[in-house]
Structure 1
Amino acid sequence: MFGSGDDRSEVARRHGSRARGRVRWALGGLLALALLLAGCTGGGLPTPNGDTPERAAAELAAGLTKKDLTGVEFVAAGSADVNASFQTLVRGMGPVTPAVSVNEVDRSGSAATATLDVSWTFPGVPQKWTYTSTAQLQDDAGRWKTAWQASAVEPQLNGSNRLSQRRVTAGRGEVLGEGDDVIAKLRPVVRIGIDKTVVDGEAATAAATRLAKLVDIDPASYVKKVAAAGDDAFVEAITYRATDDDRPSNADVFAIKGALPIQSEQVLAPTRDFARPILGTVGQATKEIVDGSDGAVVAGDDVGLSGLQKRYDTTLRGTPGVQVRLLPLTSGSSSASPSPSAGPGSPSAAPSDSPSSSASPTAPVTVFEAKPVAGKDLRLTLNVFLQELAEETLADTKPASAIVAIRPSTGAVLAAANGPGNKDQNIATTGQAAPGSTFKVVSALALLRAGVKPSSNVKCPETLTVDGRRFKNYSDYPSSRLGTITLKTALAQSCNTAFIGSRTELDDGDLAQAAASLGLGADYDTGFPSFFGEVPNDASGTGGAAAMIGQGTVLASPMAMAAVAASVSGGRTVIPVLVDGETAKTIAAPLTADEAKSLTSMMRAVVTEGSGRSLADLPGPGVIAKTGTAEYGNADPLKTHAWMIAAQGDLAVAVFVNTGQSGSKTAGPLLKDFLEGAR
């Protein structure tokens, strides 16, 4: 019999509940079966709280990448303790960090194995160190954690060893001169400084003061440098060439407690001053260089600090290498991981990596090595003999000075010497000064192109006024050469008024175009610091008048004026070459053979009958030359630059003295000495 309606509803409710229970049981059985099958195939579903071994593996990879495991959870071990152990393992890797990513996670029940892809990148080293490692993971009461082992960092780490890397410096390329003569190479030096492992505090200050006085450097600066250095530092005071006569004896250095002379090597030229402003120097990279190198340079690397050594540093420096080794743990620096205490359900917990007390240190093992690639040599055209000769010629010249020698047949810069008064400034190739009457060679070419011949008559008055400005000849100009003379005589005797008066033959731009045909005034990228000069286009007024005699706004470097002499001698436009493979092509109207022939005859007259007669008795091919004196400054009387350019055979030379009596009296004797020595 059926009961009341309420009874029937209750029966129906209970029946429905049992039916739903059977459905839930069936689904639960299927889910358990799915989990069982998934465990057998390496997959898995989250723990009841939603955690997964993939999350734990990613957490570990991130910590390894940051080289900081304090944010990683470990089985029965504190993160700080594990991280301290980890830091011991990787301290020898320095500041480099690995890039670690999870390749796959293989789960088996409450344990899992994560395969990690590891990649180390070393500053300036193209090759990366890549490998795979594995890490053990466990479900610890519903939370997946890492069961720490050192091998997760690198497979061969076992608790008795640690990682260490050292940078292998590439051999620096040499700087070679003409004929591959070695200019800059590793040469023996002695580094003198204070060893702070021997002295510290007031003793270090006293030692630094005494040493600074011994080697003649500023004591206050050096004391400050020593005080700021670490307790284990060797603080260099000065470096001497091993052959330097002024180097203090080892006995004098050792007499200061904590002071040491250390034998070493450094890239140096043959002498301390050999082409120094051009070649530059090599030394340890500054912080600014390291910071701006995008990782290619690290602290302690030797790099070019100035000049061509700096400009071509990447080529010369080469590519560093690196060696990564497994080294034995030193006493007191165990990398042992904290031993996880086995808890319920954790039979697969990783054992401790702690070496037993009886374990002997392991021998060093190289696990990765990238060989350095030596730098390439930098080939220059400098002739070692002529460079040294030029520097010796200028050795006693107190004002700023320079000598540049060029081979007309090739444009090769054979010497680019800067005098002792330059204070390491490269005046030889980048100096800027009015060239004075040496520029009349350019003016003569412009007049030749305007139709004036060497034999054409020009007027040479004692003075000439242009737009209210009075121009005159130099003080000892021969009166017998005033009046009407030929253009050839005007150049030989260097008549200012004749050239200024002839400016009306020229149009705007003529003077600048003639200068460019002689290698002056047009800018070129030659691969080395160079200034080719400036020549105005305007031929009118006092500016145009002054330009005709190399004054006003006309500027040139000794190199540019040597190019003028080389162009005349070589019969073509010569653009100087200093760095092998860096040859600039002229952009000017070419100098013709006939033009060069006319200029040669006029410059020869400078030697045979004019202001360059001091060169007439030089043996060998006939010398062509031009003297120059250019006023500058605001003193009364005005100071003067002294110039002289010349060519003999396949050698063209420019001599410049910033302040001198005149071209013939100041620059002339220096040029003669150089040509005599160059024979």
Structure 2
Amino acid sequence: MTALLAPVVLLVAACTGPDGPTAQDAADDLAAGLASGDLSGVVLVTDTGADPQAHLTETTEPLREAAEQAGVAPTVTVAQVTVDEEAEPRTAQATLAWTWPVTAQDAWEYTTTTSLEQVEPPDGSDEPPSWQVRWDTDLVAPELRAGERFDVSTAAPDRGAILDLHDEPLVTERDVWRIGIDKTFGTASQWRGQAEDLALVVGLDRQEYADRVEAAGEKAFVEAITIRDVNPGVNFSLDQVRGMDGVNVVADTMELAPTSTFAREVLGRSGPATAEVIAESDGAIAEGDVVGLSGLQADYDEALRGLPGVVVERLPAEQDAEAGEDPVEVFRVEPVDGADVATSFDPALQERAEEVLADVGPASAIVAIRPSTGDVVAAASGPGSEGWSTATLGQYPPGSTFKVVDALALLRSGVTPQDTVSCPETLTVDGRTYENVPGYPASATGKVPLATAFAHSCNTAFIGAMADVDPADTAAAAADLGLVPDLGAGAASFGGDVPTDLEGQTARAEAAIGQGTVLASPLGMATVAASVAAGEKVEPRLVREVVGGAEDAAAAPSPSPSGSPSAPAEEESEDAAPQGTPAGLTADEADALLKLMGGVVSEGSASALADVPGVVGAKTGTAQYGDGSRQHVWMLAVADDLAVTVFVEDGEYGSTTAGPLMGEFLSRR
């Protein structure tokens, strides 16, 4: 049986008027003390050992902590005081309105009542009458009994999913198996041997894992590896490890993409919040919360995470809890599930791109954009990229793929594809000699149409022709084709950087063939090809929209190349990269460029793509780096509603290294 606190009499000090303090005065002072949690300014008289201050503190401490976290002070106000003037002595009833903020927007509100009684001063005293307030446990909250207290906990929302182009989840909860040594399955003398045997099977360092097992507690489960339930991608079976001594296999779920490699550099990963993340969250994130740790998971974490709910419970007294009495929920704020982040990834094309790059040793990338929509349907980085998103963040000289930009600048200067340009075997600029790629056809040297020089990628022709083009006009042409630093793709990305401050003829010569200080990413060059195919500047998008969730959490900013929110356009400096011409890329200009790229396939350096269905244009590129003996290799292609870039950091030539990869990707689309 629950013990009840004996009635406690509380003498409330109040400002004294001509007729002494009123019941309202007494109630106001009580409300102020309750709100602050400090009754020290009130004279308390009890006829038992009960302590109202201790009771108030113990029962409401979690509520005060929640209010402090919310940044809003709790309040207690006097809603009504009713005085019975006919009673002897006079009595009153006071109704108190309580507000406990549990979030910045939500509060638990309720009322309680108490009785007051006027007390005459002792005989012979000239003091006016005062009012006594009766203290009962339910003065703090309705139905609160002796020994009970409140608890405030969070209700976790469901984390939002990252969706593909078809609005199907890419990153979502998937079944996994956690495999490790369960030390309760064996004895101390067996643990090390069991750990070494498991490590050998799953591919871990035997000594390191065995050391971890030995250092863990006597009843610990020491995880060795977590694998997917479907397509685990390991060379052992669950039955094999289940049959090993000391091994436990535990079913669980994790937020995962379709495969272990699927766009992982872009999508990123989520996991338990680190101490650093918790410390920087100002209380928004607690230990055990799942947060984004990299990529889109981190960039859009606030939207994906949603808003936690709050549950206020009245906990039973200790003896009642031991007797099996359950807590009683008295208030709840429902959690708001996280928003979904809708990407542009086409799973089939992304997986195909990753399969094509699977055996490429150097850093590599394939990016595919749909010119009609700007959707980046694939952005794959090969295993040689070692976790870096070469596809979206790589910064490399684009080599002769940059001649698409050159060609637009030349067209705008009055040169037509049929106009003759000079393509000598070599060309010397300020003492440096430039030549064409080995095997360049002699038939395409000398005085040739611009279209021929473009088809066969004549370096000397473009160096000569671009010598009289203002670098600012070239940069504007690049911008009109979408080659700018910040693509606004909704994910951390880099497009390209085309400098205008080229000093000397050598710098201009290097820029003309996409070397020197000209930089581009595979995504940036795919954007160039997409703009040509679309007949207008394409703005690529990796994130289509943020769907659902709380309004204040779903409005996530578009990350900049560094992964931090992009600055508003009006805050850009006057020295920002040129953003193109007022008219932009015209349909006629794009048509002329696409025909030039068509010549690369029909007669030029990308002739290997001639038999690939749907291919209407391409451009190869090779950019020397280091001491000039090594080169980055590129290829652009347009096929149906796809604009594709293939890049390999270290290869032979665009036609011989990137070309076969492009052919394989497009042939299997």
TM range (shorter): 0.7 to 0.9
> Does the 8 Å contact 2:633/2:653 carry over to 1?
yes
Could you say which residue in structure 2 is the equivalent of 1:42? 23
More displaced, 309-318 or 642-651? 309-318
**1:311 & 1:64 partners in 2: Cα distance?**
44
Percent of pairs with identical residues: 45
**1:363/1:526 CA distance change after superposition, 3 Å:** same
Q: Are the counterparts in 1 of residues 487 and 540 from structure 2 also a CA contact under 8 Å?
A: no
Which residue of structure 2 aligns with residue 301 of structure 1? 289
| Residue aligning to 2:550 | none
Task: Name the CA distance, whole Å, in 2 between partners of 1:255 and 1:112.
Answer: 77
**Offset, 1:227:** 10
Q: 1:643 matched to which residue of 2?
A: 634
Structure 2 SS opposite 1:323:
strand
8 A Cα contact 1:250 1:261, kept in partner: no
Change (3 A) 1:242 1:436: same
Q: State the match for 1:611 in structure 2.
A: 605
Query: 1:196, 1:148 → 2: CA distance?
Result: 55
**What is the TM-score when the length of structure 2 is the normalising length?**
0.77
Instruction: Tell me the alpha carbon deviations over residues 399-456 of structure 1, each in whole angstroms, 9 at most, x when there is no partner.
Output: 1111000111222211111111112211111210000011111111111111112121
Give the aligned partner of residue 479 of structure 1. 442
Q: Alpha-carbon deviation of 1:383?
A: 1.1
Superposed CA offset, 1:152-171 (max 9, x none): 54322213654344422222
**Are the equivalent residues in 2 in contact too, given 1:434–1:553 (CA < 8 A)?**
yes
Find out whether 1:189 has 2:176 as its counterpart.
Answer: yes
Of 613, 618, 628, which residue of structure 1 is paired with 2:621? Answer: 628
Provide the C-alpha distance between the structure 2 equivalents of 1:212 and 1:144, rounded to a whole number of angstroms. Answer: 77
User: What corresponds to 1:19 in structure 2?
Assistant: none
Tell me by how many angstroms 1:276 deviates: 1.0
Q: Supply the distance in 1 between the matched residues of 2:182 and 2:152 (Cα, whole angstroms).
A: 25
CA contact (8 A) 1:73 1:146 kept: no
Matches within 5 A, 1:186-225: 186-192=173-179
Rounded to whole Å, the distance in 2 between the matches of 1:73 and 1:449 is 91
**Structure-2 residue corresponding to 1:180:** 167
- Range that drifts further, 260-269 or 403-412: 260-269
CA distance in 1: counterparts of 2:272 and 2:361, whole angstroms = 32
Deviations 1:349-385 (A, max 9, x none): xxxxxxxxxxx65444321112222222222222111
- Match 2:528 to one of 564, 575, 578: 564
Which ranges of structure 2 fall in alignment gaps of 5 or more residues? Answer: 1-15, 547-557, 559-567, 570-578
Paired amino acid for 1:601:
K
Change over 3 Å in CA distance of 1:150–1:300 after alignment to 2: farther
Contact 2:154 2:308 (C-alpha < 8 Å) held by counterparts:
yes
Cα distance per residue 1:639-678 (max 9 Å; x no partner) = 2101000101111100001111111111101100010011
Deviation at 1:505, TM superposition (A): 3.1
- Mapping of 1:155-304 within 5 angstroms? 155-159=142-146, 161-192=148-179, 238-243=225-230, 244-246=232-234, 249=238, 252=241, 261-304=249-292
Contact 2:77 2:98 in 1 (8 A): no
Secondary structure at the residue paired with 1:397?
coil
**Selected match of 2:331 from 364, 368, 371:** 368
Q: Distance in 2 between matches of 1:332 and 1:219?
A: 51
Deviation at 1:186, TM superposition (A): 1.8
Distance 1:613 1:134, change over 3 A: same
1:71-150 pair list within 5 angstroms:
75=46, 83=54, 87=58, 96=66, 99-104=73-78, 118-122=98-102, 126-133=105-112, 150=137
Task: Tell me which of 591, 597, 600 is aligned to 2:591.
Answer: 597
Q: Which amino acid aligns with 1:315?
A: A
1:391 alignment partner in structure 2: 354
Q: In structure 1, what residue type is equivalent to 2:110? A: Y
* Mapped partners of 1:530, 1:571: distance in 2: 23
Kept after mapping to 1: 8 A contact 2:366/2:378: yes
2:561 corresponds to 1:580:
no
Q: Deviations over 1:86-127 (max 9, x none)?
A: 65x56887963575444349899999998665444446x742
Q: Distance in 2 between matches of 1:157 and 1:263?
A: 42
Contact 2:28/2:77 (8 A) holds in 1: no
| CA root-mean-square deviation | 4.6
Q: What CA distance in whole angstroms lies between the structure 1 residues aligned with 2:526 and 2:471? A: 25
More deviation in 610-619 or 584-593?
584-593
Q: Which amino acid aligns with 1:523?
A: D
For structure 1, the 5+ residue unaligned runs are 1-33, 45-51, 335-359
**Partner-residue secondary structure (3-state), 1:595:** helix
- 1:667 aligns to what? 658
Q: CA offsets per residue over residues 268-302 of structure 1, 9 Å max, x none?
A: 21111111111111222223333333333322222
Distance 1:389 1:161, change over 3 A: same
For residues 293-330 of structure 1, the C-alpha deviation after alignment (integer angstroms, 9 at most, x for no partner) is 33333222222222112222222222222222334445
What is the alpha-carbon distance in structure 2 between the residues aligned to residue 60 and residue 219 of structure 1? 62
Report whether the alignment pairs 1:553 with 2:499: no
* Distance verdict in 2 for CA 1:595–1:276, change over 3 Å: same
Partner of 2:619, secondary structure, is strand
The 1:85/1:452 distance shift into structure 2, 3 A limit, reads closer
Judged with a 3 Å threshold, the aligned counterparts in structure 2 of structure 1 residues 657 and 276 are, in CA distance, closer, same or farther, namely same
> Quick one: which amino acid aligns to residue 96 of structure 1?
A
TM-score by length of 1: 0.76
Q: Which has the larger radius of gyration?
A: 1
Instruction: Indicate the SS of the match to 1:509.
Output: helix
Distance in structure 2 (CA, Å) of the matches to 1:537 and 1:651: 31
Name the structure 2 match of 1:421. 384
| Contact 1:100–1:116 (Cα < 8 Å) also in 2 | no
Question: Which residue does the alignment assign to 1:62?
Answer: 36
SS in 1 for 2:651: coil
TM-superposed CA distance for 1:628, in Å, is 0.6
1:531 and 1:193, CA in 2 relative to 1: closer, same or farther beyond 3 A?
A: same
Taking a change above 3 Å as real, the CA distance of residues 83 and 227 of structure 1, as seen in their structure-2 partners, is: farther
1:481-525 Cα distance to aligned partner (Å, 9 max, x none): 222222111111111111111123312312111111211136342
1:314 aligns with 2:277: no
